[in-house]
Amino acid sequence: MTTIKARIGLSRQRSAMEGIQGLAEFAIRPAVILFMVGNLLAIGLETDGRAALAPLRDARFLVAVMLVDWLFAPVLAIVLVRVLPMAEPYAVGLLLVSLAPAAPFLPLMVRRAGGDPSYTAAFMLVAAVGTVLLMPLGVPLVVPGLSVETWAIARPLLVLLVLPMGAGIALRTLHPPAADTVLGVARPVAGAATVVLLVAIALRHAQGFADAVGSFAIAGQILYAIGLMAGGYLLAIRLPPERRSVVCLGACTRNLGAALAPLLVADPDPRTTVMVALGVPVTLAATWLASRWLGRSRGGALSKEAR
């Protein structure tokens, strides 16, 4: 009798867990959309168009951004997936992450580091446009097994990246009071969507995260984040500290929504989605620590100049 009751209890727990995972899976897609649109719209609403475009005349900054986003980041990912003995689905996830620079939380990290806000907006703008143009071309090259039409990749990126940010910048430039009003709504919606997305992914892929332990997936993400920070810092070494921090932190932050976009129109191995999701806590922790170090370094440099 006790055994039967135990089995019934386990069956109910399993059913409840499957129900929760099903609900989480259902919530992920709309949460990704709200996460992307809300955060990118909020960034645009905080950015004056003239201020965001001015740094694009800084050739040294622009070259550093292009090199770190579209050369160094993919090459580093390719090296890691060839060196580390991780399963192919995890390798595909890391390669997708390498094509999606600049997470929506980049402005927060740059502010902690004392970086230049206008250069942050310019970095986000370059990353968004570059992702829409280059990810559809890069996915078939770095992930040969992922067969998706170019426009099928570009369309969600255009809608979720460029249009919200562009609309926000346009409204801020043309009508600041209206931008402030919309921003008051966009911020809490984006914040709530971020929390829902993280919780939904954690619930849906909890077992996948556990299975990733010992698979070199987590080690690959950590090494990738450290390598990106080091590479971004070195490639921007000749820039002033407030601009160098933008490139360094921008290189490390990865856009979860953009990396997931190609998977929304494909039927990927669940481990690929798990690998992309693993990038969130890893890059968040890495950039948090890096922004603190960069902020202290900048503070120390300013103190020396004052003396």
Q: Is residue 22 part of a domain?
A: no
Asked whether residue 305 is assigned to any structural domain, the reply reads no
- Mean per-residue pLDDT of the chain: 83
Average pLDDT over residues 188-205: 83
Rounded distance between C-alpha atoms, residue 92 and residue 46, angstroms: 34
pLDDT of residue 303: 40
Does the pLDDT at position 64 exceed 80? yes
The pLDDT score that the predictor gives to residue 231 is 94
pLDDT tens digits, residue range 154-184? Answer: 777 788 888 898 899 899 988 999 999 999 9
CA–centroid distance for 169 within its chain: 20
Model confidence at 302, in pLDDT bands (50, 70, 90)? very low
What single DSSP character describes residue 239? Answer: S
64 with 239: CB under 8 angstroms? yes
Q: Of the ranges 24-38, 86-100, 126-140, 266-280, which is most confident? A: 86-100
Q: Is the pLDDT of residue 193 over 90?
A: no
Our CA dihedral for 92, 94, 100, 102, rounded to 10 degrees, sits at 170
Higher pLDDT residue, 246 or 50?
Answer: 246
* 212-240 as b/e: b if 16+ CB within 10 A: beebbbbebbebbbebbbbbbbebbeebe
In a domain, 18, yes or no: no
C-alpha angle 118/154/205, rounded to 5°? 90
Q: Is residue 14 part of a domain?
A: no
Instruction: Evaluate if pTM is beyond 0.75.
Output: yes
Total domains, the chain? 1
Q: Which domain holds residue 215?
A: 27-296
What CATH number corresponds to the domain at position 256? 1.20.1530.20
Q: Could you tell me the pLDDT band of residue 7, with boundaries at 50, 70 and 90?
A: low
pLDDT for res 16: 57
User: What integer pLDDT is reported at residue 307 of this predicted model?
Assistant: 39
The answer to whether position 12 is within a domain reads: no
Segment 14-30, tens digit of pLDDT: 555 566 767 777 787 78
**Torsion angle, CA of 64/42/257/76, rounded to 10 degrees?**
10
2, part of any domain:
no
Whether 189 is covered by a domain: the verdict is: yes
Residue 5 lies in a domain: no
Q: What is the pLDDT, as a whole number, of residue 135?
A: 84
